[in-house]
Structure 1
Amino acid sequence: MGSDKVWFVTGASKGLGLSLVKKLLNNGNKVAATSRSIDDLNKAVGVSDNFLPLAVSLVTEQSVADAISQTISRFGRIDVVVNNAGYGLTGSLEELSDKETRDNFDINVFGSLNVIRAVMPHLRAQQSGHIFNISSIGGFTSSFPGFGIYCATKFAVTGFSGALAEEVKEFGVKVTVVLPGYFRTNFLEPDSLNVPKNEIAEYKKVREIQNAHQNSINGNQAGDPEKAAAAMIEVAGAVDAPLNLFLGQDAYDIAYQKIETVKNDLENWKELTTSTGF
């Protein structure tokens, strides 16, 4: 990926976003990055002429629009957008309140849509660009008890990314939805993984999985975020970039398990499935 490209990355003060921003700056790219706190960004990344830290409320359209405008004012254009900001949420569907659920959708889904709406006029005008939307393997299969709402947000990201790719193709803009497995970031730390305010004791399986993620899985994830960042940079430079980018051996394996499950359901119920026409 050429170092002349300008990147706009959300949720960049930690995790995959931070790894990506640091690697891009080391490569000589110009990078605008968002977080809720400029201080957090400056502490995590440092100061550079090629770096524009931005305090942004992704759920506020004007805040997002201002960030896009500041980036273009500073660097002249935006070439690659990475909608990375988001957080995890555990809890059964019964446990999670309407507010807890909507808050997760606000950041994980509507925050990305706010960025897309604000940046697309510029990408259309320059007839080029690449949008990366960070989903999850949980946005391809939802067989994770206690992660139903989080998976639902990531299914939404995966879903609108496919439509977006077709909508913007005529403007020379590419779209890639990234579906990572488990990577060794702070995603499972308390400041990134929310738990239900009102837990229901009967959901023993949900509690077991929640505790496993907070304790045994956290810090032992197989994925290297530095390699994930490098993979995204490589895809950004590809002529034929994929729509779906699965990252991690676990994501690869789980995706094929889901594909086989769907194929089995199709074939086992084919007669009934195909019997519903006039």
Structure 2
Amino acid sequence: MNTSKVWYVTGASQGLGLILVKKLLAGGYRVAATSRNVQKLKEAVGVIDADRFLPLVVDINNLDCIDESVQQTLATFGSIDVVVNNAGYGMSGTVEEIEEQELRHIFDVNVFAAINVVKKILPVMRKQRSGYIINIGSVAGFVGAPGWAIYSATKAALAAFSEVLALDLKEFGIKVTVVEPSGFRTGFLTPNSLAYTESKIDGYHAVKDTAKRYLAGNGIQPGDPDRASEILIEMAESKQPPLHLYLGQDAYNRASNKLTTMTEELAAWKSVTVSADF
């Protein structure tokens, strides 16, 4: 398959990003892929094809670095059609035990980096009057689990950003999807992708039990990252991709149950809600 479509994928040296890049290249797409370690990226992808693969070393918390990578992509391929903000990591622990520096860092990577990538690529897409932005969120951004408050907050922020961004960009023909998976076998629960602070405080039983259960499930999550990557590619070829896409049976169940609970609560408190107006 030959296609002129150009993808720009962050966090591409491992996990979902790496699998996606490999499938894109196998499918004939042109791909600009970012990583903090470009040699690791090249070795992981295993493809040296300057015509279709552009590995980029990028500090996604540096606007100038992002801008340079965008310009390199344009110089090499001439356009950017699909952006996948995949770079990010997890964080588990109690709010009172996670250090301030760690809190700020995960927001820098999971939220501000994605926003900065969008900032730098939007002028390109506006000029093209087309484009597709895929932000990799999490079901935790809508339905969190004990001990994941900070991570959930970052993914909730990314989901809200995506929702309003879609409204802002509709007139330019630019589409937006926030992908919200449950557990997938991407190495997410390994030390490279998870900042875990074990609680030393008496109590917090729900947090400790959840951490134990999640860590024991590493490598046996039900989600298939190969299928997830295929779905992303299919969405990019769709004329009307969804704004929210939950991936995995667990993600569907959790989101569905929360929507039911929210609807019931909204109805139960309607009289109080509307009484706040003049």
Moved runs in structure 1, 4+ residues, more than 6 A? none
Residue 122 and residue 183 in structure 1: after superposition, are their counterparts in 2 closer, same or farther (change >3 A)?
same
Q: TM-score, normalised by structure 1?
A: 0.96
Q: TM-score, normalised by structure 2?
A: 0.96
> Counterparts of 1:65 and 1:91 in 2: how far apart (Å)?
34
Q: How far 1:201 sits from its partner (Å)?
A: 4.3
Q: How far 1:92 sits from its partner (Å)?
A: 1.3
Structure 1 residue corresponding to 2:97, chosen from 95, 98, 102: 95
User: Corresponding residue for 2:193?
Assistant: 192
Residue 277 and residue 254 in structure 1: after superposition, are their counterparts in 2 closer, same or farther (change >3 A)?
same
User: Corresponding residue for 1:168?
Assistant: 169
Partner SS, residue 34 of structure 1: strand
Measured against aligned partners, the alpha-carbon deviations of 1:163-221 in whole angstroms (never above 9, x if no partner) come to 11011111111111111111111000111000128743432321221222222x11110
Structure 1 residue corresponding to 2:59, chosen from 41, 50, 57: 57
Q: Does 1:108 align with 2:134?
A: no
Unaligned runs of 5+ in 1: none
> Counterparts of 2:162 and 2:14 in 1: how far apart (Å)?
24
Q: Does the CA-based 8 Å contact 1:2-1:237 persist in structure 2?
A: no
Measured against aligned partners, the alpha-carbon deviations of 1:105-144 in whole angstroms (never above 9, x if no partner) come to 00000000110011001111111100000100011122x1
User: Corresponding residue for 1:131?
Assistant: 133
Q: How far 1:4 sits from its partner (Å)?
A: 1.6
> Counterparts of 1:146 and 1:2 in 2: how far apart (Å)?
45
User: Corresponding residue for 1:177?
Assistant: 178
Q: How far 1:261 sits from its partner (Å)?
A: 1.1
Measured against aligned partners, the alpha-carbon deviations of 1:23-55 in whole angstroms (never above 9, x if no partner) come to 000000000001110011011102223111111
Partner SS, residue 96 of structure 2: coil
Measured against aligned partners, the alpha-carbon deviations of 1:3-37 in whole angstroms (never above 9, x if no partner) come to 22000000011111111101000000000001110
Structure 1 residue corresponding to 2:143, chosen from 138, 141, 149: 141
Partner SS, residue 251 of structure 1: helix
Partner SS, residue 95 of structure 2: coil
Q: Does the CA-based 8 Å contact 2:93-2:198 persist in structure 1?
A: no
User: Corresponding residue for 2:154?
Assistant: 153
Partner SS, residue 213 of structure 1: helix
* Identity between Structure 1 and Structure 2 (%): 49
User: Corresponding residue for 1:213?
Assistant: 214
Partner SS, residue 158 of structure 1: helix
User: Corresponding residue for 1:258?
Assistant: 258
Number of aligned residue pairs: 276
Q: Does 1:248 align with 2:243?
A: no
